[in-house]
Every structure is written in structure tokens, then in C-alpha cells.
A and B are shown apart, each in its own frame.
Chain A
Amino acid sequence: MAETKVTEQDVMYVADLANLELTAEEKGRMIRDLNSILDHIDTLNELDTSDVPPLAEVVSMFAGSPAADGARFDYAMRADEARPGLPHEAAMGNAPESDKVYFKVPKVIEK
């Protein structure tokens, strides 16, 4: 991968994706910090990982049966039966704005 440098445009694009709104000062700092961190991360390119599978989790290596397919996650499954969940009132307890039934938010659809 060619050396990439994060630009202000990149920062604005990423902030958009992340739903963050940075001040001008934060933007400047962010460009500097991201570049510094990405420079450090570039060392990973010293490694040839073309034949190496990704490791996402370790639990299935120890729990459940050592099957190669989805059955190795059987320990994590249960019957598809409805069970009591968080009561509605508890779920609404921290609502910034509600009518006690729904969470209220600014208009989503214009017109």
C-alpha cells in the first residue's frame, strides 16, 4: 500500500461517517494525530499475510464441537422462542424526550 497521508478532506469525510462534528481546532489536531498513528501502523506492511486467515474470536476454539462449519457456534445458540426482555418502562427510563410510549426525535422525513 502506498504511503497515504490523511488530509483535511479525509478527516471531514470520516467525521461525516462517524457522525462527529469537529471544530476547526479539533480538525487540525485530528489530522496531525491520525497521521502520526497511521505512520506507526504502517509497520504492519512489513508482514506478508497473504496466506494467513484472520482471527476474529477465540472462544469457538474451546467451547462447542471442533466442527469446521457453523456447528462450532452451537454453544451460543438457543431455541427461537420469545422470552421476557427489558420491560418497556425500564427501556424508556433514560429517554431524553418521550411521550412514555415512543422516543421522540426531530423530524426524520422532510415535507
Chain B
Amino acid sequence: MNIELLTIDGVRDLLARKEMTATALAEACYGKIAAEDEKIGAFLTLSKSRAMAKAAEIDQLAERGDPLPPLAGVPVGIKDVLMTRGVRTTAASKILDDFIAPYDCTAVARMEAAGAVVLGKLNCDEFAMGSSNENSGYKPVRNPRDLTRVPGGSSGGSAATVAAGMAVAALGSDTGGSIRQPAAFCGVVGLMPTYGRVSRYGLIAFGSSLDHIGPLTRTVKDAASVLQVIAGRDPLDSTSADVPVADYLGAIGKSVKGLKIGVPEEYFGKGLDDEIRAAIEGVMDQLRAADCELVRVSLPHTKYAVPTYYLVATAEASSNLARFDGVRYGHRAEAVQTLAEMYRRSRNEGFGTEVKRRIMLGTYALSAGYYDAYYLKAQRVRTLLARDFQQAFSRVDAILTPVTPTPAFKLGEKTEDPVEMYLSDIFTVTANLVGVPGMSVPCGNTREGLPIGVQIMAKHFDESTMLRIAHAVEQGQSTSTDLKP
């Protein structure tokens, strides 16, 4: 049994047939982490006692022949921006280096209640700010498919962990593409639900109107399984939607015949890598063969999405990160004389460069005299983007696009110019600005063997259609004998 290939169903099967225990599986994962993670850098903290306690609990259920919960014994990794009670939670920042979370993130609690075994906390870009996992306050994460390249970000640790087989699933967060982009770069499935579909309680806030929690998994069905468990109204998050949770697992395997899929011309322009373009055209051919109707649509305000995002996200971040001041938790500078000095030096010593840059930009955008011209302007452009999607969705059921303009780039390649890094988010930020769900599904490799992902976006709260199409794409990949993109 190769733990690198295990799915959620696979784990539950093994446990139900008593071919393996949850304890042995957790130990096997820790063995793999010990062997592989030094070169990958995905884990920041291991939570062995918590994991083994949960595994033992699941083993008792299996022993008695009791029905197993949906994620029984499934080893998972949790991005370090999600609170895990009693376990060090750093947001990959030195400012929270010794912070022990006093409560659990709702999504984590729901996964554990469903039987998941939390192996540890995963590395990411500091405070989820980045697209390459090079901004971690601790160490970069490397792409398991090519260790000289980035895994993507900010959920780089989550994507790498699943890709390397160190866990069966991971939770990540997505504010501008941080689940989907690393999923594409590492060749795994990454799902960002509709805004408000999954509670944000316990997610260390970056951009509160843009943040989402979501799964990274090896298969589309696994993503549906995790979503089924974590979705739903949470009274602890007033922005979580009181909308009924659909049967996501029921969507897996449903025919896509007759679905109309929009292809927006603005996402297929000059900057798109040729091999990615070809792979996605291959997906379109597959979907046509499955009797989907591919429809050309236009999302005319696409080119304004990145600047809009960088205003809204940084403004919200500047406000959200004001709480890190050395007073109640986190790093406090030593030998300070005044309160003001304490704030300044604690923040200066604790925050990395990208975080400071974004706080500065956000503060500038919100400062007197600039609020209307920057932040409010961006919020108005957001409405224009939402209208683009509304119009497109009046004609189609889903939208198909690339996830990234290029495959995974080399470490250090884009760290000089922030704008160059920001532009790599160009296909993913729109979903966050508008609140629609989006997921990345592997759809081939480049000639150099680097993974390529295709993005499927759906209407608000229509994750079922998104999953249905994603599954069809995935099935098309595995039956395709032609491995060239």
C-alpha cells in the first residue's frame, strides 16, 4: 500500500476491512514526513499527541465495528493561519513564533469531529501574503515535483504536503488564489468555496471580504468529501452564509451533458504560456466530447482585477494586522521605554518585508485624502467585475480558465519586483473579488514535467456544478492515453 496514492475512500476502506489501523497510517505519514520534509519544508509544527489520540479513538470505533465518520483516520495537514487549540500557530510569521492557539478554527474542529487526524501545521507565505511560499518567516517551501521551483502560494505547504504524499488532504486558505494557484503548480486539486460557504472563525484574518478556507486533495471526490464536512452556517462567523449545504458527493459522477461552459477571451491573451493554453484546449475538447456546450464569453473588466485586488486586500490587511502590537500575544520587543516604542519595535521585529509592504500600501490607500481615490474606487470596480460575472452566468453554468499564466517558476525568480509577483495572480483574484467559487484541477504536464491546472468557476453557492465538471475533467485525464498537453 502506497500512502502517496491513498484517497479518503481508500483510508476508510482499509480501516473498515481492518487491513490497517489509523494509528499505523498516522505513523506511516510521520515516517514520510521525517524522510522527505527536510528538503520540501512543508511542516512548521507537528502535533503528534493530538494526532495519535485521534487515531486511537478512530481505531476503537473500527475495532468495535461501529460506523466510521466521513473522514475517519484521514491524515491531514492544516495551514498555519488556522487556529488549532493547544498547538503552536504562527501564520508563518516570527511575530507569532511562540503563540499557542487558545481555540480551534471551526473548519478544523469540524474535520476532527468527522474523524480526521491532524498531523501538524503547514508552512505558508507569512499571513497568507504571497504567491510562491517564499515569504514565510521561517523557510521557503519547495515544489515536490521540482525542488528548484516554488510550490506556489500562499498555501504552498498545503499543496506540497498532498503532492508529496505526506498527508491525504490539507486545509488551506485563499484570498487571491492561494489555494488554487499552489494546487496548479503542484499538480493537486484545490477548491475555493463561495465566500461565506465555510466559516472563517479561527482563520487569522488577512482580507476579511476576500478570505476563504478550502481543501487541497489528490482527487475531486476528496475535495467534495472535505467540503461536505466543513461547509455550513457557523454562528461564530457572522459572514458565514445561512444557505443550505448541497449534496456535494452526489454531484460526483453526474453527467455533464448539456452544461454550458463559458470561455472568457480575456483569460487567453498574450501572456499565457503555450503549453498551458494547449492543455486547456485539450480539456475543452474533452468537455465537448462529453456533450458540453463551450460558449465564448467576455469578462471585460478582467484587466482591472489585479490592481483592484491589491487595493482591497492590502487595505483590509492593514486593519486586520493592527492587532499585532505586542500587548496581548505575540512578539514584544525588549527594553522598551514607551508604549509607542513597544508597538513600533514589536511590529518591526516581527513582520517580514512583504507584510510590511502590504500594510504600508493598505494604510496609504485608506489614509485621509486617499480613501475615495483608492479604496472606495476599488470597491466600485468590484461591482463592475461582479456585473461581468452576472452577465456571463446568465448565459452559462460555469466558466473555464487557466489558473496561472505560467507553470511553477524557480525560487528567487520573481522576488525582486513585487508587481511581477502580483501579476501571477491574474486569473485567480477575480473569483475572490466577486465571491464565486473556483477550483483548480490537474490537466496535464509541461514537456519539463511541471503540472498544469485548469480552473472551473461557478455561480455563487453552486459548488455542485463546479464539482460535477471538475470530476469530468479529472476522469478525462485518467482515460486519456495521450499524455502530451
A contact set with B: CB distance below 8 Å: 1, 6, 10-11, 13-15, 17-22, 26, 29-30, 33-34, 36-38, 40-47, 49, 52-59, 61-64, 75-76, 78, 86, 90-91, 93-97, 103, 105-108
Interface size on B, residues (CB 8 A): 76
B419 A1 Cβ-Cβ under 8 A: no
**Smallest Cβ distance from A23 to chain B, in angstroms?**
8
B360 A14 Cβ-Cβ under 8 A: yes
- Asked if B480 is at the interface (CB within 8 A of a chain A CB), the reply is no
**Smallest Cβ distance from B362 to chain A, in angstroms?**
8
- Asked if B381 is at the interface (CB within 8 A of a chain A CB), the reply is yes
Select the residue from A36, A56, A58 with max chain B CB neighbours within 10 A.
A58
**Smallest Cβ distance from B359 to chain A, in angstroms?**
5
**Smallest Cβ distance from A54 to chain B, in angstroms?**
3
**Smallest Cβ distance from A91 to chain B, in angstroms?**
7
* Assembly CA distance A26 to B238 (angstroms): 38
A40 B304 Cβ-Cβ under 8 A: no
Chain B residue contacts of A86, Cβ below 8 A? 102-103
**Smallest Cβ distance from A33 to chain B, in angstroms?**
5
| Contacts A26-B356, A37-B419, A41-B310; A62 near B361 (Cβ below 8 A) | no
- Out of B209, B303, B435, name the residue touching A43 (CB < 8 Å): B303
Kindly list 13 other residue pairs between chains A and B, CB separation below 8 angstroms, not including A17-B367, A18-B360, A54-B383: A10-B364, A19-B340, A34-B364, A41-B310, A41-B311, A49-B381, A52-B384, A59-B241, A62-B461, A93-B100, A94-B328, A103-B327, A105-B327
B419 A40 Cβ-Cβ under 8 A: yes
**Smallest Cβ distance from A12 to chain B, in angstroms?**
11
- Asked if B239 is at the interface (CB within 8 A of a chain A CB), the reply is yes
A63 B241 Cβ-Cβ under 8 A: yes
B196 A18 Cβ-Cβ under 8 A: no
- Out of B322, B337, B380, B422, name the residue touching A19 (CB < 8 Å): B322
Interface CB pairs A-B, < 8 A, 12: A18-B318, A20-B360, A33-B418, A45-B377, A49-B384, A52-B381, A90-B103, A93-B102, A96-B326, A96-B327, A105-B342, A106-B339
- Asked if B214 is at the interface (CB within 8 A of a chain A CB), the reply is no
B contact set with A: CB distance below 8 Å: 98-100, 102-103, 195-196, 209, 233, 235, 238-243, 301, 303-304, 306-308, 310-311, 318, 322, 325-332, 336-345, 347-348, 351, 353, 356-357, 359-361, 363-364, 367, 373-374, 376-384, 386, 417-419, 422, 434-435, 460-461
* Assembly CA distance A15 to B233 (angstroms): 38
| Contacts A37-B361, A53-B380, A90-B102; A21 near B242 (Cβ below 8 A) | no
B377 A44 Cβ-Cβ under 8 A: yes
Chain A residue contacts of B357, Cβ below 8 A? 30, 33-34
* Assembly CA distance A33 to B420 (angstroms): 11
* Assembly CA distance A38 to B384 (angstroms): 21
Chain A residue contacts of B303, Cβ below 8 A? 43
B332 A59 Cβ-Cβ under 8 A: no
Chain B residue contacts of A21, Cβ below 8 A? 344-345, 347-348
A62 B379 Cβ-Cβ under 8 A: no
A53 B103 Cβ-Cβ under 8 A: no
B326 A44 Cβ-Cβ under 8 A: no
Chain A residue contacts of B239, Cβ below 8 A? 57, 59, 76
* Assembly CA distance A105 to B318 (angstroms): 23
Chain A residue contacts of B378, Cβ below 8 A? 44
B338 A62 Cβ-Cβ under 8 A: no
Minimal Cβ-Cβ distance residue in A for B304: A44
**Smallest Cβ distance from A61 to chain B, in angstroms?**
8
